[in-house]
Structure 1
Amino acid sequence: MDSYAQKIANINIYQWNARSIRSKLASFKQLLIQEKIHIAAITETWLESDYTLKIRNYVVYRQDRDSSYGGVVLLIHKSIKSEHIQVTHNNAHFEIIFVKIYNCQQINNIICFYCPSNIDTSQNDWDSLLSLANTKTMILGDFNGHHTNWSYKTNSRGDQILQSVLENNFIILNDGTPTRFQLVDGVLRQSSPDISLITSDMSLVLNWMVTKESLGSDHLIIKLSTKVNINIIRQRKRNFKKADWCSYTSYLQQSFSSAEFPETMQIAYDIFIKIINEAADLFIPFIKYCLLPENKFTPKPFWNAELSRSVALRRLALSRFRRNPTPDNHDLLLDKIRDAQRLMRIAESNGWHGFCNSIDEKTSPKD
């Protein structure tokens, strides 16, 4: 039987415009583990509808665009109970994933959002988006709107967003730190199209920062962290590896041979199930484990020192380019991005082949 308890847990959230998640997936999976990320809101995934995105220990909620560009994904760690809520919006170009959270007291709703920069929007569009939920709600995404409150300039979309934020009980977490960098005609252009919105009842519990990691996108990853009261689930499952199958089989044979089954189908069924459960209790022990978010991040077996070094060199190249945005430093950054992606693909492939060659009768299905 499951039991429930409440505990204060650290929850980490990533917000990122990937500009194609497939080409960066190996790096991103490793980052989820290293940084112990429980929720990830990803925009511009560029996924085809027939591509299956699976990440171990995460529930994947996604909305793809027909053109294979755009697209949004919300990843929710399986230790967090969640449900996708279907929503409609009057602006067909708004890409929205709405997920309800059930076992985190400080977070009720998370929305991942993307709107292309070349789309006309109205004040009503943003009011409608922010009215989807108004308590303990986060809206994370690439709004492609600028205002000097959070970016380097103000445009009409930025004015609309700010007005809706002020009228709908939301707060902008951005502190002016650029979230995107581009080399345009030899000049580094930095902006903040990626915005993090929360309702005012969450303002005291969240930390917000722009990381120094982009994984090869021209958008930097945003990290949000908080402590929440979470209802954790302690579960018991049978440990079939330690079962005494000989005694279990013998017990069933003796019990069934001596049992008297009446003609009433339901009573006979109840007796049958009772014998099965008695045998299991005697000869198949339980495993006790706790679905606590902090305990479910296992390093990838293929990760090695060479991969760590390639990631460090990629981050160093990004830092150098941002300090001195020359064409040479930009080319160096692209080279380090490609090197890291190539090494990860090779390591992941070799790890998979090695695992397949090691499979025998003792290999667990969980492996």
Structure 2
Amino acid sequence: MTNLSSETNDFIHVLQWNCRSIIPKLDSFKAMINNLKCDVFSICETWLTSDINLNFYNHNIIRLDRDAPYGGVLSGIKKCYSFYKINLPSIQGIESVACQIKIHDKDLCIASVYIPPKALIGQRMLSDIFELLPSPRLILRDFNSHGVAWGSSYNDNRSTLIYNLCDNFNMTVLNNGDMTRVTKPPTRPSALDLSLCSTSLRLDCTWKVVCDPHGSDHLPILFSINKGPKITPSVDIPYDLTLNINWKIYKTKITEALEAVQHLPLLQKYDLFAGLILNSAILAQKKQYLGVSTKRRTPTPWWDKECSKIYIKKSRVYKVFRKKEKNRRLCTIYKARIHVQKLDQSQKT
């Protein structure tokens, strides 16, 4: 009988996206957060109004809507995490929502911000919001700003504000230079979607663009944050972990696990040591040990294999377009998108 008391190398997955109207893309979006196993998502330009009810099976929602069906920001937090909403001031030209999330033994502040292209903003306005966000923090936003630090070929006026805010609040840009907004040729793609984090989080984060716009002209952004060691209740596993273990993987896993707890107090290290060994052995199994379920809930009750097949095909069509960027490839994307929409409607009925 084996006893598991600890989990290590656990990550929280955060999705950021300018969706440009969430309702017509809702089924595709639910499939995306299901496939990417998102714990938190941040959306701007939702185009929602207060009379529209929007629910997610696994996520709690906080949102800010406009009176007219444009703009708007929304955050989703998985229901297994406790959180509270942070009240932000109402500032003309800036739409934002924020919350403080409890992740294991850490507190993390996540804010979703949208600033329209023609809005007149100043550094004091943005500082008033940043000052209310406790550190460590993530600021996920479409600033409609061009900056060399996040992949643009030049710096505009707004980029100066962002650079100053990063210096004043000890933050850094997570973007790696990849383009986040796609347009029709010959217009060049641009990087308008920014992910900012406290400098203390930078080494724990990985950032990448999802190569499928899902009907928007902005690409989703996915990044992962290392949650560190977690102590969980004991679980009995009636299985001999030495029968089907890959010792090379085991060595790698336990080395990573020990590095994750090296800065903990000595007594806490001792309490976690047995759990680290057992959890590394489980992760290094060549076969799934008994009691582990790999079943994943489908995005919606009517989702079947045909939906998944068409969904994957649409993503592949877009990847081909990104390589060639020709108008005839763009027509193929529109046809694939229409096919998905028709299939969704037929499945629902």
TM-score range, shorter chain: 0.7 to 0.9
Match of 1:177 in 2: 178
Q: How does 1:293-304 map to 2 (within 5 A)?
A: 298-300=297-299, 301-304=301-304
* Equivalent position amino acid for 2:23 in 1: R
Residue equivalent to 1:330: 330
Q: Is it true that 1:204 corresponds to 2:203 in the alignment?
A: yes
> 1:35 Cα deviation (Å)?
1.4
C-alpha displacement of 1:130: 2.5
Residue 45 of structure 1: aligned partner: 46
Once residues 179 and 106 of structure 2 are traced to their aligned partners in structure 1, the CA distance between those partners, rounded to angstroms, is: 28
Matching residue of 2:11: 10
Q: Which amino acid aligns with 1:198?
A: C
Contact 1:36–1:297 (8 Å) recurs in 2: no
Q: Distance in 1 between matches of 2:178 and 2:146?
A: 13
Moved more, 129-138 or 330-339: 129-138
Q: Deviations over 1:318-365 (max 9, x none)?
A: 112222222222122122122112212322x14xxxxxxxxxxxxxxx
Report Cα offsets for 1:101-137 as digits up to 9, x if no partner. Answer: 1244444211011010111111222323332224111
Aligned counterparts of 2:207 and 2:76: Cα–Cα separation in 1: 19
Structure 1 residues 124 and 155: CA distance shift in structure 2, 3 A: same
Distance 1:132 1:199 in 2: 14
CA distance change for structure 1 residues 232 and 297 in 2, over 3 Å: closer, same or farther? farther
CA deviations 1:237-284 (Å, max 9, x no partner) are xxxxxxxxxxxxxxxxxxxxxxxxxxxxxxxxxxxxxxxxxxxxxxxx
In the alignment, structure 1 residue 63 sits paired with structure 2 residue 40 = no
Q: Distance in 2 between matches of 1:55 and 1:62?
A: 13
Distance 2:62 2:230 in 1: 22
Q: How far 1:7 moved relative to its partner?
A: 4.2
CA separation in 1, counterparts of 2:223 and 2:346? 32
Do the aligned residues in 1 keep the contact of 2:89 with 2:129 (CA within 8 Å)? Answer: no
Given the superposition, is the C-alpha separation of residues 233 and 94 from structure 1 closer, same or farther in structure 2, using an over 3 Å criterion?
farther
TM superposition shift of 1:167: 1.9
Aligned equivalents of 2:160, 2:127: Cα separation in 1: 12
Counterparts of 1:37 and 1:295, CA distance in 2: 16
Change (3 A) 1:324 1:126: same
Who wins on radius of gyration, i.e. which is larger?
1
Count of matched residue positions in the alignment of Structure 1 and Structure 2? 283
Matched residue, 1:283? none
Determine the structure 1 residue equivalent to 2:55: 54
Q: Which residue of 2 aligns with 1:151?
A: 151
CA distance in 2: counterparts of 1:154 and 1:29, whole angstroms? 35
Distance 1:304 1:189 in 2: 37
> 1:155 Cα shift?
0.7
| Cα distance in 2 between the residues matched to 1:199 and 1:30 | 30
CA distance, structure 2, for counterparts of residue 108 and residue 14 of structure 1: 15
Equivalent residues in 2 for 1:82-161 (5 A)? 82-89=83-90, 91-152=91-152, 153-161=154-162
Which residue of 2 is the match for residue 307 of structure 1? 307
3-state SS, counterpart of residue 12 of structure 1 = strand
3-state SS of paired residue (1:226) = strand
- Which residue identity does 2:338 align to in structure 1? R
Distance 2:298 2:229 in 1: 24
Q: Name the structure 2 match of 1:317.
A: 317
Go from structure 1 to structure 2 and tell me whether the alpha carbon gap of 1:199 and 1:14 turns closer, same or farther (over 3 Å shift): same
Q: Which residue of 1 aligns with 2:219?
A: 220
Whichever residue aligns with residue 331 of structure 1, its letter is C
Conserved in 1, the CA contact under 8 Å of 2:12 and 2:225? yes
Q: Single out whichever of 338-347 and 73-82 deviates more from structure 2.
A: 338-347
Cα displacement (A) at 1:296? 9.6
**Structure 1 match to 2:266:** none
After TM superposition, list the pairs within 5 Å mapping 1:179-198 onto structure 2: 179-183=180-184, 186-198=185-197
Contact kept, 8 Å, 2:98 with 2:110, in 1: the verdict is yes
Cα displacement (A) at 1:188? 3.6
Provide the TM-score with structure 2 as the length reference. 0.76
Equivalent position SS for 2:97: strand
1:248 corresponds to: none
What is the RMSD computed on CA atoms of the aligned residues?
Answer: 2.2
> What pairs up with 1:210-359 in 2 under 5 angstroms?
210-229=209-228, 298-300=297-299, 301-347=301-347, 349-350=348-349
What letter is aligned with 2:217? D
Distance across 1 between alignment mates of 2:335 and 2:304: 20
Q: CA deviation at 1:317?
A: 2.0
**Residue in structure 1 matched with residue 276 of structure 2 by the alignment:** none
Provide the secondary structure at the position in 2 that maps to 1:340: helix
Q: What 5-or-longer segments of structure 2 have no aligned partner?
A: 234-292
SS of structure 2 residue aligned to 1:190: coil
TM-score by length of 1: 0.72
